[in-house]
Amino acid sequence: MPAVSKGDGMRGLAVFISDIRNCKSKEAEIKRINKELANIRSKFKGDKALDGYSKKKYVCKLLFIFLLGHDIDFGHMEAVNLLSSNKYTEKQIGYLFISVLVNSNSDLISLINNAIKNDLSSRNPTFMNLALHCIANVGSREMAEAFAAEVPRILVAGDTMDSVKQSAALCLLRLNRTSPDLVLMGEWTARVVHLLNDQHLGVVTAATSLITTLAQKSPEDFKTSVSLAVARLSRIVSSASTDLQDYTYYFVAAPWLSVKLLRLLQCYPPPEDGAIRGRLTECLETILNKAQEPPKSKKVQHSNAKNAVLFEAISLIIHHDSEPTLLVRACNQLGQFLQHRETNLRYLALESMCTLASSEFSHEAVKTHIETVINALKSERDVSVRQRAVDLLYAMCDRSNAKQIVAEMLSYLETADYSIREEIVLKVAILAEKYAVDYTWYVDTILNLIRFAGDYVSDEVWYRVIQIVINRDEVQGYAAKTVFEALQAPACHENLVKVGGYILGEFGNLIAGDSRSSPLIQFDLLHSKFHLCSVPTRALLLSAYIKFINLFPEVKGTIQEVLRSDSQLRNADVELQQRAVEYLRLSSIASTDILATVLEEMPPFPERESSILAKLKRKKGPGNLHPDLDENRKERSANGGTADHSSTTSNAKVLLLSCCLLIRMTHCFLIVTVTSPKVAASPTPSTDLLGLGSTITTQNSAPPASKGTSLLVDVFSENIAAFPVETPVAVGPVADENFSRFVCKNNGVLYENQLLQIGLKSEFRQNLGRMYVFFGNKTSTQFMNFAASVPADPTVDGGAQLQQILNIECMSDFVDAPVLNIQFRYGGTLQNVAVKLPITLNKFFQPTEMTSQDFFQRWKQLGAPQQEVQKIFKAKHSMDTEVTKAKIMGFGAALLDGVDPNPSNFVGAGVIHTKTTQVGCLLRLEPNTQAQMYRLTLRTSRDTVSQRLCDLLSEQF
């Protein structure tokens, strides 16, 4: 490239730059730049034509100002003018400015393109080079559109200079990267391949890069390049270091070209032609041989260049994976590098070995280096190298050395760097499972894992332990014993408590024979950890406790005591509270038979691939050296097999215990729940025992044959198609529009839509009630799989009516009414209806007659402020005295005439009966006909009752 001669040096530019450099402060610099910009603007104004020199000078100054970080918004036109100059320096500056400053959507682009076109056809090699460089630098879509056809033509033209060919190849490479769709394969492709035979090594290097990229796009078109590449490679490899003159770098012949050729060969499988194949093998052997030779220079560049070629050759060997001798040699060569003092070499050696380990030919060879690798893991200073060592250990692990490797990794885990701990934990867990011959060893390993690095043990790992323990009878006893021992440590990790709680809950009975681990001791041990754990763990422990009740009836009292304690029964956490309440009820009400059914041992999990593998794959992400080439390589990578990406699956399984319980309980719970509205009124829909709308309980409506535990597991898998019953439509909002009408009466239509009518007839005495529910099919077709909250007849004939009787008992005062869920299949679709049952507190009212004196005496006794609730509200209906009287009586209270001094007021009295207590209630209703308002006052011995009754009654007027 012609240098800028002395006479051509721009003095003004030099002065300007030195001025800027001498500026003392930022402000001074900005002032100087402003001044210069104003000067350039006045020069560019176009009154007088500028000569090429000054144009060049000012454009240079603008470039310099731009590079200092200021915005330049003019001068583009002048730069474009420079492009048409005949002087090299002016043209060069013009192109420089365009490359740096012109953005692709500029309106000058057509002018620029025109200038470039002129230069490309000029036959002057320097100008052509400049133009090609500019195209490559800008690389915009417009450029690609304009020149995608032109550049290949220049590339393959016979009379093009070598340097231009080189530029054209690289320019085309760039265009192919930015807009691959515009670079079309044509007849030039065949001729491009022949550039590999070019005399000029520079052209060959550029062409190899281009061909490698294009070959990935369309391998077929460039198949012929393999033989040429091999020929070229063998010529380079076999040449003496002095042969290639300019292309010998520190005694290594054309290292860059060699590396590129080797990469190109990695795009294709091993050549089929024996001769070529032999030649390639020869080349690779020569490269491996050369690595053994003593270095020709002590300079680091020499060894770098040599090793670059060597590693690329090894990559190719691994890619071909067909020559056992070469693979073993490569492995041995890498083994030497493992102990090299250069850290980079050790890293690369470990990384390459990782891929080598997956090849069947070299796996054994890799294994011979196990000691070195383990040593590297322990003594290496650089964490990234240690990470590679872990990868390699993982890759080289098999049945024969699994125990040793897992033990080493476990011991390393204690000192490992925090950033890689989780990955090591996953790897240990996978290896332990994969190569476990003896499941006691597996259990030991995982428990140790949790002990050493509990924080890094993800949920997947411990889910997996439990899956395995449950599926294998032979380890259950051992696992119970081991976790029991592990839990005895004064401080143990929460994950260990989880595993311990689960396993002891399932298999605690297997070790209960030993007096050192009697049921009570087991329970105490678990419960001693209870208060240190987070909510999910506590929930799990509660489930374990209820399982204990089934396993060991002798500890029932102790456990009930724990469940009954305020810290459980009134826990702030809804989940814990609910579990405590439900388990307590379950343990006190259900018979041992029911308990045994509900709390039966978990069924085995279906065998499917470990979710930990999926997790490890996610963690790894893209981290390899050549993103271009690794697609095919990845598939052969160590992990092997595919994992289903259902991370949710295992998650769901943890819930299994409690959910399974739920399902098994449903049919025996119905009586319990209906008779105890307070329980039914639990706030979370998913745990609502009556909530038949949730996925779990749809099972209940299925034919009894499918109501098995084996199916339960599939509820949580994503494989919905395996379901005998389609997923139900979502539960609609709970219908309660008729609810308030039933406050003062007991019979009527509760719910009606175009398909279904629900009628109601109920009677109440004291704290007991009976409710008849009539389901009427309004259509002419049959409802299939009909299910209400009580197991009803699975079919309802068209026009037919079905009756259901509910027995109700009021346990204590309550607010929310139970919900009746109805499900049936009409036509093809599943219908869901949720109706609030009109069971309200006032239904348990017994009227009491009393005199005026009695009334006011009691009225005064109930004078505490929390006992009285008063509400003033506007009348919604006409204020008819008779209707009001009827309503109060319907509400359940006795209407006392002549008690209140004001005859227009209404006074009532009654007693609410619940199972445990009786609550006396007095009420007083004062209508104001002028204002159309009522004042309702309620006094009862319980504040909650007063409030609820007041709310109920006030809505009636």
Among 3, 5, 49, 73, binds other proteins (CB under 8 A): 73
The minimum distance between CB 160 and other proteins, in angstroms, equals 35
12 assigned ligand-binding residue: yes
58 assigned ligand-binding residue: yes
Among 55, 76, 529, 887, binds other proteins (CB under 8 A): 76
Nearer to other proteins, 74 or 418 (CB): 74
Size of the site for other proteins (CB under 8 A): 21
The minimum distance between CB 85 and other proteins, in angstroms, equals 21
Cα distance between residue 549 and residue 677, in whole Å:
26
Nearer to other proteins, 31 or 378 (CB): 31
The minimum distance between CB 25 and other proteins, in angstroms, equals 5
User: Which residues, 53 to 72, sit near other proteins by CB under 8 A?
Assistant: 71
283 assigned ligand-binding residue: no
Nearer to other proteins, 73 or 631 (CB): 73
65 is written with which tokens? 């100002």
DSSP reduced 3-state for 417: coil
Mark residues 8-37: x for contact with other proteins by CB under 8 A, - for none: ----------------xxx----xx-xx-x
CB atoms within 10 A of CB 217: 12
Nearer to other proteins, 107 or 246 (CB): 107
Nearer to other proteins, 107 or 631 (CB): 107
The minimum distance between CB 107 and other proteins, in angstroms, equals 7
Among 108, 149, 625, 720, binds other proteins (CB under 8 A): 108
The minimum distance between CB 21 and other proteins, in angstroms, equals 13
Longest Cα–Cα distance in the chain: 129
Cα distance between residue 909 and residue 924, in whole Å:
9
Strand order in the sheet with 819-826: 783-787, 819-826, 829-836
Nearer to other proteins, 80 or 305 (CB): 80
61 assigned ligand-binding residue: yes
User: Which residues, 807 to 836, sit near other proteins by CB under 8 A?
Assistant: none
End-to-end alpha carbon distance in the chain: 101
How is 307-369 classified by DSSP, letter by letter?
HHHHHHHHHHHHHH---HHHHHHHHHHHHHHHT-S-HHHHHHHHHHHHHHHTSTTTHHHHHTT
Cα distance between residue 10 and residue 58, in whole Å:
10
Choose the stretch contacting other proteins; rule: CB under 8 A; options: 101-109, 115-123, 245-253, 491-499. Answer: 101-109
Among 4, 41, 596, 799, binds other proteins (CB under 8 A): 41
How many residues appear in the chain?
957
Among 17, 39, 384, 694, binds other proteins (CB under 8 A): 39
Nearer to other proteins, 31 or 177 (CB): 31
418 assigned ligand-binding residue: no
CB atoms within 10 A of CB 636: 14
The minimum distance between CB 40 and other proteins, in angstroms, equals 9
Ramachandran class of 22: left when φ > 0, alpha when ψ lies in -120 to 50, beta otherwise: alpha
Nearer to other proteins, 34 or 632 (CB): 34
Cα distance between residue 716 and residue 605, in whole Å:
12
57 assigned ligand-binding residue: yes
The minimum distance between CB 38 and other proteins, in angstroms, equals 3
Nearer to other proteins, 70 or 564 (CB): 70
Nearer to other proteins, 77 or 872 (CB): 77
Long-range contacts of 577-584 (CB under 8 A, 24+ apart): 578/682, 578/684, 578/687, 579/539, 579/542, 579/543, 579/658, 580/542, 581/679, 581/682, 582/679, 582/689, 583/542, 583/543, 583/545, 583/546, 584/560
Cα distance between residue 596 and residue 892, in whole Å:
43
306 assigned ligand-binding residue: no
The minimum distance between CB 836 and other proteins, in angstroms, equals 59
250 Cβ contact partners less than 8 Å away, ≥ 6 residues apart: 297, 299, 301, 302, 305
**Residue 45 binding other proteins, by CB under 8 A:** yes
User: Which residues, 156 to 215, sit near other proteins by CB under 8 A?
Assistant: none
For residue 638, with 0-12 CB atoms within 10 Å meaning exposed, 13-18 middle and 19 or more buried, which class applies? middle
The minimum distance between CB 24 and other proteins, in angstroms, equals 6
869 is written with which tokens? 């609730």
**What residue type is 306 in one-letter code?**
K
The minimum distance between CB 100 and other proteins, in angstroms, equals 15
Nearer to other proteins, 77 or 574 (CB): 77
268 assigned ligand-binding residue: no
The minimum distance between CB 83 and other proteins, in angstroms, equals 17
Nearer to other proteins, 38 or 749 (CB): 38
Which 3-state string (H, E, C) describes 819-861?
EEEEEEEECCEEEEEEEECCCCHHHHEEECCCCHHHHHHHHHH
How is 671-715 classified by DSSP, letter by letter?
HHHHH-HHHHT-S-GGG-TT-TTSHHHHHHHS-GGG-SHHHHHHH
Nearer to other proteins, 37 or 233 (CB): 37
The minimum distance between CB 34 and other proteins, in angstroms, equals 5
Cα distance between residue 408 and residue 402, in whole Å:
10
The minimum distance between CB 29 and other proteins, in angstroms, equals 11
DSSP reduced 3-state for 50: coil
DSSP assigned state of 765:
E
513 Cβ contact partners less than 8 Å away, ≥ 6 residues apart: none
Among 38, 157, 300, 625, binds other proteins (CB under 8 A): 38
634 is written with which tokens? 């990845």
Annotated binding-site ranges:
11-12, 43, 53, 57-61
Q: Which spans of this chain sit near other proteins (rule: CB under 8 A)?
A: 24-26, 31-32, 34-35, 37-39, 41-42, 44-45, 71, 73-74, 76, 106-108
